[in-house]
A and B are shown apart, each in its own frame.
Chain A
């Protein structure tokens, strides 16, 4: 593999992806900002005042890390799935497929684009959160590493969705029926210690629970789960999903007849 060629190709692809995010900012940046503002107003401010504290924090403070992570996850996923499927649908994916850039470079470029959008939106949501509550970062490295890794996991998952998608409906099925329920049940709005023991066990099968809690630990210093377990699970997902993406792309699934 020609390393310098692929580095230039990755840089080009990232530049293209970031340009796309800014070109259609009304679709990519504004909606999550509005949605999260509403979450903070309704769940944090209006309802949260009646709930009181959770794990020793104001309810608003408690849900803020989860809401930030939720926006990062959905935007990382959404960016890759819509960009890659859009390229498939418009056939300009052929620009990459006929070029000598490697399949790994195609994955890395798209995933990096998704991560950049996820982190950008996450930063915007953090700024919005600061209008409603105070966030003192307890463990900055854990916070940063976990948000980047979680974003990578969902950008990779979005890539796989885009490979298999044949029509626009196919890129909304997974976010609607899988991602959203898992996120809502992933401890964004509550501590799983509130659940009966059986449902605590079930919740622990949800990978988003580990991401949200590890991120919350990075911000607030509190978590329902073991942080080491969270890192192990997230890193395992990154490895498995990247390998799956590479294998699918090498076989030409969804892109070559």
Chain B
């Protein structure tokens, strides 16, 4: 049984926009899956259909074996959603928001109170439990939406850009938290524009563009498709022009660092041997861009380079 099974899902809006053109996605229980795509690719529409906020045109969706067509109540019981837009009742108190959501899932008051305290503490909002949601910072509102989505302890959690506009410290703490609940058994589907976030967290990636799935595979195998990688070398001393290194593309950056493009079949040892031969000493080395970003750009722009 899949945590999520989507078959031939299509959505055409009333204005004729075909947002989804028959997508198929399977997510295994316990997986941490990234759903990536440029703006307008169809990610939020797909999530809207899964969470029954958007009516589908055709196709099927099953959540832990429960069809949203025939067993919607059971399907919803297993699902938690953190939407892209802040959709809190900003005039309501923090604890009330979480407790009310628990009630909508049928949790008795005592259990709802216990879970509310548990998740507000875990997401470091317990001290603000009596404050109105409007008084929270952007990052706190995002964490409150996560607490609200978790209060009924769903088996599948969908997060639509949960770290958008959140500072790096809070983003990192959210990553830690999501990794922890995933390790405890919650299946997670994440959409994000921060591709390093997807690369760090997710074991599976599906890329959607123009309403179609253009990649759906384990993260490791997707990253193996990369044919090249770009390194930035901080050089001891100053170079007047980019050196010619046999088998590598080089260019000199404005800051004086050396940029080197390596192909998949070359080893870093070869690069350092070439650098030695040219009497170039390296102080430090880093990746120019994250690898997933490069792959993503290649796929959505249909570039011949990165993908096989």
A256 at the interface (CB under 8 A from B): yes
CB of B35 closer than 8 Å to a CB of A: no
* Cα A6 to Cα B83 with chains together (Å): 24
Q: Which residues of A contact B91 (CB under 8 A)?
A: 23
Known interface pairs A12-B100, A98-B81; A256-B54 also in contact (CB < 8 Å): yes
A contact residues around B148 at 8 Å (CB)? 95
- Asked if B101 and A95 sit within 8 Å, CB to CB, the answer is yes
Whether A94 pairs with B106 at a CB distance below 8 angstroms is no
User: If A16-B100, A256-B55, A257-B13 touch, does A98 touch B79 (CB 8 Å cutoff)?
Assistant: yes
Q: Nearest Cβ in chain A — how far from B97, in angstroms?
A: 8
A99 pairs with B101, CB closer than 8 A: yes
Shortest A7–chain B CB gap in Å is: 8
- Determine if A50 is an interface residue (Cβ-Cβ < 8 Å): no
Complex alpha-carbon distance, A94 and B73, angstroms: 15
Question: Which of A4, A87, A91, A100 counts the most B-chain CB atoms under 10 A from its CB?
Answer: A100
- Interface centre among A8, A90, A92, A98, by most chain B C-beta atoms within 10 angstroms, is A98
- Residues of chain A within 8 A of B106, CB atoms compared: 2, 4-6, 8-9, 100-101
Considering only CB atoms, which chain B residue lies closest to A99 in the complex? Answer: B104
Q: Are B104 and A96 in contact (CB under 8 A)?
A: yes
- Who on chain A is nearest to B45 by CB? A257
* A252 at interface by CB-CB < 8 Å: yes
Total residues of chain B contacting the partner, CB 8 A: 35
Interface pair B73/A100, CB less than 8 Å apart? yes
Give the chain B neighbours of A252 by CB distance below 8 A.
55
A99 and B89 within 8 A (CB): no
Q: For the complex, is A167 an interface residue (Cβ under 8 Å from B)?
A: no
Closest residue of B by beta carbon distance from A87: B89
Q: Does B77 reach chain A (CB closer than 8 Å)?
A: yes
Pair A9/B104 contact, Cβ less than 8 Å: yes
Interfacial residues of chain A within 84-140, with CB under 8 A of chain B in the complex = 87, 90-92, 94-102
Tell me the complex Cα distance, A198–B213, Å.
68
Q: Does B105 contact A (CB under 8 A)?
A: yes
- A95–B102 Cα gap in the complex (Å)? 10
Interfacial chain A residues near B108, Cβ < 8 Å: 8
* A228 close to B (CB within 8 Å): no
CB distance from A246 to the nearest CB of B (A): 15
- Chain A proximity mask over B72-90: 1 for CB below 8 Å, otherwise 0: 1110110101010101111
Complex Cα–Cα for A19 and B96 (A)? 10
Residue of A nearest to B149 (CB): A98
- The answer to whether A1 has its CB under 8 Å from any CB of chain B is yes
Question: Is the pair A9, B13 in contact by a Cβ cutoff of 8 Å?
Answer: no
B221 within 8 A of A: no
Q: Check A100 against B87 for contact (C-beta < 8 Å).
A: no
**CB of B87 to closest CB in A, whole Å:** 4
- The answer for the CA separation of A10 and B108 in the assembled complex, in Å, is 12
CB of B55 within 8 A of CB of A92, answer no
B210 contacts the other chain (CB 8 A): no
Q: Judge whether A257 and B73 touch: CB under 8 Å.
A: no
- With both beta carbons as reference points, the residue of chain B lying nearest to A256 in the complex is identified as B55
What is the distance, in angstroms, from B146's C-beta to the closest C-beta of chain A?
14
Q: Considering the complex, give the chain A residue whose CB is closest to the CB of B89.
A: A92
Interface residues in A1-28 (C-beta closer than 8 Å to B): 1-2, 4-6, 8-9, 11-13, 15-16, 19, 23
Residues of A within 8 A of B100 (CB): 12, 15-16, 95
Residues in chain A near residue B89, CB distance under 8 A: 87, 90, 92, 95
A1, A8, A11, A98: the one contacting B76 at CB < 8 Å is A98
Contact status A95-B105, CB under 8 Å: no
Residue of B nearest to A91 (CB): B87
CB proximity of A142 to chain B, nearest CB, Å? 35
| Chain B 147-189 residues near chain A, CB threshold 8 A | 148
Contacts A6-B106, A8-B103, A12-B104 given; does A91 touch B85 at CB 8 Å: yes
Instruction: Chain B residues near A4: list those with CB within 8 A.
Output: 106
Nearest CB on A from B201, distance (A): 23
Contact assessment for B87 and A90 in the assembled complex, using a CB-CB cutoff below 8 Å: yes
Specify the chain A residue showing the minimal Cβ separation from B72. A100
Residues of A within 8 A of B83 (CB): 91, 94
The one of A8, A23, A94, A102 that contacts B53, using a Cβ cutoff of 8 Å: A94
B105 and A5: CB pair below 8 A?
yes
| Interface pairs (29), CB distance under 8 Å | A1-B73, A8-B106, A8-B107, A9-B104, A12-B104, A15-B100, A15-B103, A16-B96, A16-B100, A19-B96, A90-B87, A91-B83, A91-B87, A92-B88, A95-B89, A95-B97, A97-B53, A98-B52, A98-B79, A99-B101, A99-B104, A100-B73, A100-B104, A100-B106, A101-B106, A102-B73, A252-B55, A256-B55, A257-B48
Q: Which 8 A-B pairs have the closest CB atoms?
A: A12-B103, A5-B106, A99-B104, A91-B87, A100-B76, A92-B89, A100-B73, A8-B106
Residues of A that sit less than 8 Å from B by CB: 1-2, 4-6, 8-9, 11-13, 15-16, 19, 23, 87, 90-92, 94-102, 252, 256-257
6 further A-B pairs in the complex, CB-CB below 8 A; given A94-B53, A98-B53, A256-B52? A4-B106, A12-B103, A87-B89, A95-B148, A99-B105, A100-B74
